[in-house]
Structure 1
Amino acid sequence: MSGGQCAGADRFQYLQALVTEFQDTDSADAKEQVLANLANFSYDPKNFSYLRQLQVPDLFLDMLTEDNETLVEFGIGGLCNLSLDKACKSHILASGGPSLVINCLSSRREETVLSAITALMYLSTGASQADISTRPVVECMLRFSLSTNRRLSNLANVFLEDYCTEEQVREARSVEQHTALGIPLPED
């Protein structure tokens, strides 16, 4: 076995141990710490196949409906990272991921919202566009684009410019002017 194969086996075993620890622990703090580690490992494309084997995309998806906002934040962060992998992206789309990610747009946590917007951009394909650039999402992005938070407003503007048609934005603007309905902005 070459050094690369050994390192790969060690990496898989380490990630497997993290997943097992997450599943076995009853401690909220331990779950948060392990999920943060898994989200960090999902940044590295070398880990994508291991994380898929260990069903980590499903774990991240499951976290998006938790009451614990820290678990949601780390879950959406990890999911955002894994959305760059074609196989993970397909799995997330097939598993109803866009609607779960869209629900994260209403979080009061800035990092959760930023990761959700970014994940929606990564998950956007010709086939998924209709599920992602819906009128409520476009209206939400219009509100976010007006935020004094530069990170949020810049990301929302990128979404509006690159993932929405001019007609979608125009229609959402006309509806937005007639409603008081709004998703709250995350706290700065």
Structure 2
Amino acid sequence: QVGSSESSDRFEYLQTLVTEFQDTDSDEAKEQVLANLANFAYDPKNLEFLRQLQVPDLFLDMLTEEQENLVEFGMGGLCNLSADPDCRDAILQSGGIELITSRLSSPREETVLSAITTLMNLVTPATRPRITDPSILHCMLRFSLSESPRLRNLSAVFLQDVCSEEQLDRARSQMAGRHSAVGIPLPRD
């Protein structure tokens, strides 16, 4: 019985956070609440409640915001949720792959790292073809040459775990064909 009282308190607290997020006009308050929700998404005990409160959709909505902090916290929250199969399904049903993929070009490394991890968590037999789309593979191949060790290593894990050797070879040859000598004048005889 103690467990149900604790879980009812937990639900009410999370509901209060979601309501506060929706009701506030302060960007700073929105960021704070979103950061808290993203942290709560890390705890499996909260996942059912967060799904009931439609927090996966709230996080997805943040990916279209102008303000980079909201995008980063929304992406971090999705990353935390995406390891759970039910949350993964909720993210996929809401068009998550396209929204998350669009954040691979974020100026913030944290956002990009969360986007890559989330995409890896969203891989199922049904979603693999979309997540291994050539444009995403080209992006990962570029990231694998990054100065950042975190970005380089995570993109290498993505390429190794999510893609077939054949897909990688095709993506590499497409990139090589596209980038060779483009815009470089040919030498005169």
TM-score per shorter chain, which class? over 0.9
Q: Which residue of 2 aligns with 1:152?
A: 151
Q: Which has the higher contact order (CA 8 A, sep 6+)?
A: 1
Match of residue 136 from structure 1: 135
Runs of 4+ aligned structure 1 residues displaced above 2 Å come to none
**What is the Cα deviation at residue 4 of structure 1?**
1.3
Q: Provide the residue aligned with 1:41 in structure 2.
A: 40
Within a 5 Å distance, the mapping from 1:35-114 to structure 2 comes to 35-114=34-113
Q: Alpha-carbon deviation of 1:171? A: 1.1
Equivalent residue, structure 2, for 1:172: 171
- Code of the residue aligned with 2:150 in structure 1: it is R
CA distance in 2, matches of 1:94, 1:54: 16
Q: Find the residue that maps to 2:42 and give its secondary structure.
A: coil
Secondary structure at 2:155's aligned position in 1? helix
How far apart, CA to CA, are the structure 1 residues paired with 2:145 and 2:158?
13
Cα distance in 1 for partners of 2:69, 2:37 equals 13
- Aligned pairs, number: 179
Q: In structure 2, how many angstroms separate the alpha carbons of the residues matched to 1:168 and 1:106? A: 22
- Structure 2, unmatched stretches of 5+, are 180-189
- Hey, what does 1:6 align to over in structure 2? 5
* Residue of structure 2 in register with 1:184 after alignment: none
Which residue is equivalent to 2:123? 124
Give the aligned residue type for 1:85. Answer: D
CA offsets 1:82-116 (integer angstroms, 9 cap, x no match): 11111111111111101101001000101000000
Q: Distance in 1 between matches of 2:95 and 2:60?
A: 9
Aligned mates of 2:77, 2:178 — CA distance in 1: 34
Q: CA deviation at 1:25?
A: 0.3
Shift of 1:167: 1.2
TM-score by length of 2: 0.93
Give the match for residue 184 of structure 2: none
Give CA deviations for 1:101-157 in whole Å, capped at 9, x if unaligned: 100100010100000000000000000001111001000000000112111111000
TM-score (norm 1): 0.93
Query: Quick one: distance in 1 between partners of 2:178 and 2:104?
Result: 19
Task: Using the aligned pairs only, state the percent identity.
Answer: 63
- Where in structure 1 are there 5+ consecutive unaligned residues? 181-188
C-alpha distance after superposition, 1:12-71 (max 9, x if no partner): 111000000000000111101100000000000000000011000010011111111111
